[in-house]
Chain A
């Protein structure tokens, strides 16, 4: 197959990828888009297979069988709550592949007569560097989310200087390689050093910030693949890789905005430390008192409301109570109550994660309201039910300049007539930030495990 013919066929693949992303603008046909993208991928693989002309076909087949088999089994088995680490894992292997391609390409072109073209050697150095960072960084993100290593930020003195020095050193080695010292060992140093850098870079970032990291590493892998396209003079790699690089960057920035923090602050701020210094303020001492209610009371509030809004947080997913919440919502709807869900952009362990978890529990997606649509509705809401969420409903983010989350956009549940908070105890949450919402006179607390509380509510609403 000639260069031109294969590139024309690769164009089909590029178009399907763009369509796949385009179709994601609406949940009604998003799945179709993904399938179109998969077909495009198949086209690219078949074209490439023919291009290789049947040499070492068995090695190709074996490699694809092993890798594809692993991918299929892992993707089938993973629980929806574990989706973020699965994405991190698949992202990492992609970055690793890009780094390996760089190593193999340099090995191939070095013995050839004359110096490699400047752009080719630059591309090799870059994709080796970025791919390796993405690989090891993703593996650490995976390990943190899977709780194989502590999710807390791991820091030591002079960390930033060490990281910066390492990165500068790697770039220097890359410059030497590109400038004409044609030694494969230089690339090995770059790839190995970048892998170490990836580990050091992700370790100090707390588990709660992992979504941002995964999104950023996704962009990195895309970039490494695009640069790999320059090595191999392959259009489909350049365009597809860059599509992912651009989209990953945009998504990362959007997430930073949703948390009201700059990306630099997320990556280098070691947020955990800032928070640790703050939780001295005792809400009870500040003059508020907490009202707790029984499940029966709350059931009555819910059953006789006109409009109920559920505000789910990651605690809901941890308790595996999505299905129970949906059952409760169905019961209330049968009684004529209008039910919606208000989803904060950073609820869950990656952007949009909560939507996936609720969709898994068969909640129809038109009921899932994004923050900007949900907030105006709280004014005409009778009861807002907060399940396993804390920081995203903390009014301090609006009012208290001293709060570490001041300025973060939140769900204004306190605009509702009444607020019910389902919470295990009065212990401060994961981030350790005091929440005045609990002391608001409109608020009642329903203490206990989220799943058990919801189950009780279901029983009590049934008998009403």
Chain B
């Protein structure tokens, strides 16, 4: 594939992604906007893939080592932190039935959550 063809292809999926993003997000209720924000936050943690490519592929000068390593550290923090925090939040959203059951043992559990 020539460079030009690749570029056109990349721009195409970029534009489709914009519309897809609008489409998917507009269905999220305001109830879940905070998890939405941290969830999308976790998704842009995909930047770690770019950081890994920089650090992991050949061509080693000390500059690339340092910058690539830092990028991997930052990207990994983004990925792990984003997904864990989102999971913690979504875990708490419960409908009526489980909430009643939890009531009896709730004191112990509440302490752990805080």
Point out residues on A near B: beta carbons under 8 Å.
13, 17-18, 20-22, 24-28, 30-31, 33-35, 37-38, 41, 44-45, 48-49, 51-53, 55-57, 59-60, 62-72, 74-76, 78-80, 83, 86-87, 89-91, 93-94, 96-98, 100-101, 103-105, 107-108, 117, 119, 214-215, 218, 221-222, 224-226, 228-248, 250-251, 323, 330, 343, 345, 348, 350-353, 355-356, 359-360, 362-366, 368, 370
Residue from A38, A56, A65, A359 in contact with B94 in the complex, judged by beta carbons closer than 8 Å: A359
Contacts between chains A and B (CB distance < 8 A), count:
391
Point out residues on B near A: beta carbons under 8 Å.
3, 6-7, 10, 13-14, 17-22, 24-61, 63-65, 67-96, 99, 102-103, 106, 110, 113-114
- Do A83 and B36 have beta carbons less than 8 Å apart? no
Please give, as numbers and ranges, the residues of chain A lying within 8 Å of B33 by CB-CB distance.
Answer: 251, 345, 350-352, 355
B60: nearest chain-A partner, CB-CB: A56
Cα of A221 to Cα of B50 in the assembled complex, Å: 14
Please give, as numbers and ranges, the residues of chain A lying within 8 Å of B38 by CB-CB distance.
Answer: 83, 86-87, 90
Top 10 A-B residue pairs of the complex, sorted by shortest distance between their CB atoms? A246-B21, A52-B56, A67-B76, A352-B33, A71-B81, A63-B72, A71-B80, A242-B17, A75-B84, A31-B90
- Do B44 and A221 have beta carbons less than 8 Å apart? yes
Cα of A301 to Cα of B44 in the assembled complex, Å: 50
* Cβ distance A222 to chain B, nearest Cβ, rounded Å: 5
- Do A52 and B53 have beta carbons less than 8 Å apart? yes
Q: Is the interface of B mostly helix, strand, loop or mixed?
A: helix
Please give, as numbers and ranges, the residues of chain A lying within 8 Å of B53 by CB-CB distance.
Answer: 48, 51-52, 232, 234
Cα of A235 to Cα of B65 in the assembled complex, Å: 24
Please give, as numbers and ranges, the residues of chain A lying within 8 Å of B81 by CB-CB distance.
Answer: 70-72, 74-75, 86, 89-90, 93
Having A48-B49, A63-B69, A91-B78, one finds 13 other A-B pairs with CB under 8 Å, namely A18-B20, A22-B24, A37-B43, A57-B56, A67-B76, A67-B77, A68-B76, A90-B41, A96-B71, A97-B72, A100-B71, A101-B50, A355-B31
Cα of A431 to Cα of B89 in the assembled complex, Å: 29
Cα of A71 to Cα of B84 in the assembled complex, Å: 8
B9: nearest chain-A partner, CB-CB: A235
Cα of A353 to Cα of B72 in the assembled complex, Å: 30
Cα of A119 to Cα of B6 in the assembled complex, Å: 11
Residue from B64, B70, B72 in contact with A108 in the complex, judged by beta carbons closer than 8 Å: B64
- Do B106 and A243 have beta carbons less than 8 Å apart? no
- Do B93 and A101 have beta carbons less than 8 Å apart? no
Cα of A301 to Cα of B21 in the assembled complex, Å: 47
Please give, as numbers and ranges, the residues of chain A lying within 8 Å of B57 by CB-CB distance.
Answer: 51-52, 55
Please give, as numbers and ranges, the residues of chain A lying within 8 Å of B47 by CB-CB distance.
Answer: 94, 97-98, 101, 221, 224-225, 228, 237, 241
- Do A246 and B44 have beta carbons less than 8 Å apart? no
What are 17 A-B contacts defined by CB distance under 8 Å? A18-B20, A37-B43, A38-B83, A60-B55, A71-B79, A80-B89, A97-B47, A104-B71, A218-B44, A233-B10, A238-B13, A239-B13, A242-B21, A246-B19, A246-B25, A362-B102, A370-B31
Residue from A56, A66, A83 in contact with B76 in the complex, judged by beta carbons closer than 8 Å: A66
Known contacts: A30-B35, A63-B72. The answer to whether A222 contacts B40 by CB under 8 A is: yes
B28: nearest chain-A partner, CB-CB: A24
- Do A60 and B28 have beta carbons less than 8 Å apart? no
